[in-house]
Amino acid sequence: MAEPDVVHQLDLSAVAAAGQLLPVTPALGVVAAALLLAAVAVTGWGRLGHGRDVLRAGLRAVLQLAAVAFAITWVVGSVLTSALFVVVMFAVAVRTAGRRMTDGPGWVWAAVPIGAGVLPVLVLLLAGGLLPPKGLSVIPVAGILIGGGLTATSLAGRRALDELRLRHGEVEAALALGFEERDARLEICRTAAATSLVPALDQTRTVGLVTLPGAFVGMLLGGATPVQAGAVQLFVLIALLAVEAVAIVAVLELVGRGLVTREAAHRVR
C-alpha cells in the first residue's frame, strides 16, 4: 500500500462515490421497495419458504442503517465509542452465527471462531500502522472482517451439524472401529464444512473479471490511483480468506469436541 492512511482514504472516497453511483432520491427508495417486494414474491412463487424472512430482513436493514446513519457521526468521534461500536457488531455477529448453527446454549461458542479470525488481523493492521486508530477507519474494516467471520461460522456450523445428522450411522461405525469421538465426528463433517470457504474463494478468483468490489470502485471514484485501489482491495480479499479459514477450522474443532451440537447431532455414545 502506498501510504499508511490509505484505508482512511477509502472511507472518504465513499462520500464522493455515493453521488456518482446511486443518487439518494425518492426514486431510489421506490425502486428499492419494488425490488424487495419482487424478492418476496419470487420466493413465494418458487416455494422457497423464506418470503417472510426476506421481507423482515429488508425492513430490518432499513431501520438498522437509518439508526447507524444518525449515530455514526457521534460514534466515530472518539476511539472509545468506536471500540464499543465494534464490540456491539461482534456481539450481534456471534448471536446471529450461533443461532444459525444451533438453538441450544452452545450458540455462545460462535464467539470463538469469529474472534479467532478477526482479532489477529485487526491487531496486525493497527500494530503495523496500516490502519489508523480512527473510527472512520476501524469501524468499516472491522465490519468487513466480522461479516466474513459471521458467514463462515454460520455456514460451516450448519453444514457440519447437518452432515453429522445425516451420516449418524457412519459416525457410530467409526467409533466401533476405534476412533475417538472427536476424530469420528471430524472425519464425517470436515469436507462438508470446508465448502463454506468456496464463496470467499470464488470472490477472490473472479475479482476484476466478474465483479469490481466496492472498496476498489470507491477508492477510484475518490481519487486514488488504480494501484492504490487494487492494493487495498487485494488486502481485503486476502484478509477475508484468512479470517474465514480460521473461523471454519475453529468451528470444526468445536463441533468435533461436542461443544456445538443439535438435538439430532448430540453425542453418539
> What integer pLDDT is reported at residue 1 of this predicted model?
39
Cα–Cα distance for residue pair 258/241, rounded to 1 Å: 26
59 part of a folded domain: no
Determine how many CB atoms are found less than 10 A away from the CB of residue 223. 12
132 close to 7: Cβ distance less than 8 angstroms: yes
> What integer pLDDT is reported at residue 264 of this predicted model?
44
91 part of a folded domain: yes
pLDDT tens-digit series, residues 78-103: 788 888 999 999 999 999 999 999 88
> What integer pLDDT is reported at residue 2 of this predicted model?
39
253 Cβ neighbours under 8 A, 6+ residues apart: none
179: domain range? 6-13+76-265
Domain count, the chain: 1
Q: Which among 254, 234, 235, 257 is positioned nearest to 246, based on CA atoms?
A: 254
Cα–Cα distance for residue pair 40/50, rounded to 1 Å: 8
132 part of a folded domain: yes
pLDDT tens-digit series, residues 60-69: 998 988 887 7
65 part of a folded domain: no
Nine-digit cell string for 138: 476501524
> What integer pLDDT is reported at residue 215 of this predicted model?
67
**Burial class for 74, CB neighbours closer than 10 Å (0-12, 13-18, 19+):** exposed
187 part of a folded domain: yes
> What integer pLDDT is reported at residue 18 of this predicted model?
45
194 part of a folded domain: yes
pTM, two decimal places: 0.79
13 close to 219: Cβ distance less than 8 angstroms: yes
71 part of a folded domain: no
54 part of a folded domain: no
Residues in the chain with pLDDT < 50? 1-19, 264-269
Cα–Cα distance for residue pair 86/258, rounded to 1 Å: 29
> What integer pLDDT is reported at residue 231 of this predicted model?
80
